A and B are shown apart, each in its own frame.
Chain A
Amino acid sequence: MSDPALRIRGLRKAFPKVVAVDGVDLEVARGEVFGLLGPNGAGKTTTLEIIEGLTEADGGDIEILGLTWAKQGQEIRARIGVQLQSTSLFNKITPRESLDLYGSYYPKRRSTEDLLDLVQLQEKADAYHITLSGGQQQRLALALALVNDPELVFLDEPTTGLDPQARRSLWDVVRRMKSEGRTVMLTTHYMDEAEALCDRLAIMDHGKVIATGTPASLIAELAIPSVVELTFDGAAPDPAAFSARLDQPVECRADLWEIPTPDPKALLPRLLEAAEAAAVPFQQVHIRRATLEDVFLHRTGRSLRE
């Protein structure tokens, strides 16, 4: 079992108007939670769909659990679990029936009761699919991905569109998967999700992997482990003059200024003094640790949310 769960070399996929995946190399070890982080349109979903066998690649090699699509397609399908970005089920089918039905497609299966417990859908087990909330539908999709007791699970933006509480409960399910020894590969454009769940990450942009590593190592690679934020009541003013006075780059975003710094302790007194002198009408000062968002910003010059 020294084989990696997944090994990808030189994966490429071009659509008529855009090169969606542009030479992606990845390796996911068994038992880890691996995240593909990137903005919308970075090529995460296309990459995942090629791995899942839904889309055909233009080039590159994929090895899943030591198997290849060309030779062992059915075996791969039997051993992986997939949650699509949007799982469209029939309206008038209940979660219990869905789980029974999809379970019947596999040689090996987990019990429906077990799965309903896992995703806390017992009380909605016999309600029609259309009557489920977004979070409940998403949890059902997660349960469906586990119906065959898979070794490798793919989750495409599992928490997009969910409220914070629903996200937390989904995170718990993902952590359970890991504790059960499964390998999980997920995509997300939430950096907090990536930090909270993933053992390792690949940051994608424009179809390319621009950085790989653990969340901590990626952040540590930044020379600027901290960020000081000045928040304003309303839109933040133009920071150019202040930046010159402080002799320090200041990023302006919506209602705050961000000043990245390797040494917040030294910066802070200078900053407050300069703000006082320039009569900057800020509300509060925060010092925070740099995040994956800053890593992305640093590498691409753009924000994840743009």
Chain B
Amino acid sequence: MMLWRQFVMEWRLYSRDRVAMFWTFAFPVILLMGFGTIFRDGGGPKLSLVRVQAPVPSARDTALDQALTDLQLKVQTLPKAEAEARWARGETAAQLETEGTGYRLRLNSYLMAQAGATAGLVNQAWLVAQARLNGEPEPQRIPIQVESPGHKHSTNYASFLLPGLLGLNLVSMGLFSVGMVNVSYREKGKFRRLAVTPLPKWIFLLGQVLHRLTVTVIQAGILLLVGRLAFGIQNQGSFLDLLLIMTLGTGCFMAFGFALSGFAETSEGYAAISNLVFFPLMMLSGVYFTLDSAPAWLQHAVAVMPLAPFLRALRAVFNDGGTLAGHGVGLAIVAAWGCAAFALAVRRFRWA
């Protein structure tokens, strides 16, 4: 009963802050529309190669260029100066240049994933070109297909983006807004009045969690609806699974926010602390780059971080129509972090 009242009051206060509410719901939709539209004509990203124009193209050059095109590489032929300038700007993943009797293939170490695959294709094309020049039968080759795991059911970039947005929303809500709000309330003395009442801390915290959870669910509903209407994106898994994952994630990352808010005295301090947690969480989540070459202890540490398993499970359900069954360990990790953070939050939480 107390909890219900607390929940209703949170919603009432929230709904009266029109500006904040508008942005909470509108911002992810704007992101989805924006990025979804920019990357609309998908078909999956193509591997591209910058080909430095040979001053006098030989028959070999012509045969190689033909083979590159046949292998579905996106070849961009540029004069030497222009190609070098592009290379220097770091925009080129792989650059192929005729050099004397041979070729030079340069790969951008910052774009290794793309450059490596491109190099494979270039070598295949070279074999094909040589066979054609010599009048031999073309060598057999294993076709390469560029595909994103999230694109199995849709080639639309927006469908890959959507679960990411759902996840990011709830991480930032937990780490940034919830914690920040609590720190600023404490800073302004709004909690002191509650501290002299018998209201248990856990009810106050749980009331906020439930409120934010419903906000997240509504937000997700809006995003799903817009995704469907604007981009024809469908949730491939069950909505119940999706709801369960979102609930778990919201709970976990909000608990993070509460726990962190217990360590900051001021809003400024909180901004620093939350970033301190947010960036390693993002960077070490395996979302941006793989950590294959990192030391073993770091890889073990990364394996038990909560963000990656959460996003994996979310994408598996949403994009690939998977079930939660295969993600038991990952979800258990998320839940464990959530419980630990909530326990810490209750312990560290101070009214004043």
Contact = CB atoms under 8 A, between A and B. Distances in A.
B2 interface: yes
A77 B16 contact: no
B352 A87 contact: no
A77 B195 CA distance: 9
Contact of B196 (A53, A101, A104): A53
Contact of A89 (B2, B190, B195, B351): B190
B80 interface: no
Contacts of A101: 5, 9
Given A52-B196, A53-B196, A104 B190 contact: no
Contacts of A290: none
A144 B193 contact: yes
Contacts, number: 56
Nearest to A93: B13
Interface string B40-64: 0000000000000000000000000
A106 B188 contact: no
A84 B193 contact: yes
Interface residues of A, number: 26
Identify whether the interface residues of A are mostly helix, strand, loop, or mixed: loop
B12 interface: yes
Nearest to A90: B13
B197 interface: yes
A128 B1 CA distance: 25
Interface string A94-109: 0001001110111100
Interface in A123-154: 128, 144
A166 B196 CA distance: 25
Interface string A62-100: 000000000000100110101010111110110001001
B198 A54 contact: no
A77 B198 contact: yes
A128 B13 CA distance: 11
A190 B352 CA distance: 27
Contacts of A90: 13, 190
Given A84-B196, A88-B189, A100-B5, 4 more contacts: A77-B196, A87-B193, A105-B2, A105-B197
| Top 10 A-B residue pairs of the complex, sorted by shortest distance between their CB atoms | A92-B16, A82-B196, A77-B198, A105-B199, A88-B189, A105-B197, A104-B5, A88-B190, A78-B198, A74-B198
Interface of A: 52-54, 74, 77-78, 80, 82, 84, 86-90, 92-93, 97, 100-102, 104-107, 128, 144
